[in-house]
Amino acid sequence: MIAIAISTTIADGGEYACAVATAGGEPQLLDFDPAALDDQLAGAAGVLLSGGGDVEPARYGESSDLADEVDPRRDAFELALVRRARERGLPTLCICRGVQVANVAFGGTLVDDIGRALGPAAAALHRWEVDGESVRGLIDGHTLAIRPRSLLATIVANESLVTGSRHHQSIARVAADLDVVGTTADGIIEAVEARFASPFWLGVQWHPESTLAQDDGASSAIFAAFVAAAGHFADSRNDR
């Protein structure tokens, strides 16, 4: 069994769990309890941090009146989770809020609101809404430039990718242990990889779990590569 530990507020794991299962993993949902973190990770072969509300600005030394749906309990748990996953060498995939959590956990900061930083056109591009609801599919114009020969470029077999987008915050100062490998034309950081040793570590600001059938296989390839790395991790652990 390739057990993938998923941190999310969605009761059944939603699209994240479905994407993991489709790729051959066994989703295991985590409780936001730092005291039980090690027990919950005991059998995990990979960790997925999902989307959600904003990280509390105080966590990265800022204050903001635009932070939305802040959950201090979840923040505390996921900051510990991403650090512990690194310590254990667990394959890790961070999505949307997840990549922001990881950047903060490793010493980086966040843009508190893209609209305030770059204006309404940029805000609309990164969180396109119809009738008050965020679009869950691909967004024309939300195109990533991907660094050649990066892990992400290898996975999606391309150096350009149209994605979906549902965020109003983003990475500002990049943590020293992370490397930028994907940006949009307005300069928003959309993908980072680890500078530290890891069998698989990828953070993406968009939502590949929502576009599995919409981007010629790129989203599916991300989950397949993640679960495959988790499988190798599980096999190596069993061989010890």
**Catalytic: 96?**
yes
Q: Whose CA is closest to 85, among 35, 52, 48? A: 48
Two tokens, residue 157: 């077999």
Amino acid at 139: I
Q: Is 94 a catalytic residue?
A: no
Residues 113 and 169 sit within 8 Å (Cβ to Cβ) = yes
Annotated catalytic residue 209 = yes
Among 15, 78, 190, 209, the one annotated catalytic: 209
Judging by beta carbons within 10 Å of its beta carbon (0-12, 13-18, 19+), is residue 19 exposed, middle or buried? buried
Rounded CA separation 174/224 (Å):
27
CB 198 within 8 A of CB 91: yes
Contacts of 114 (CB under 8 A, 6+ apart): 122, 123, 126, 127, 167, 168, 169, 170, 188
Catalytic residue among 96, 126, 142, 167: 96
Positions marked active-site: 96, 207, 209
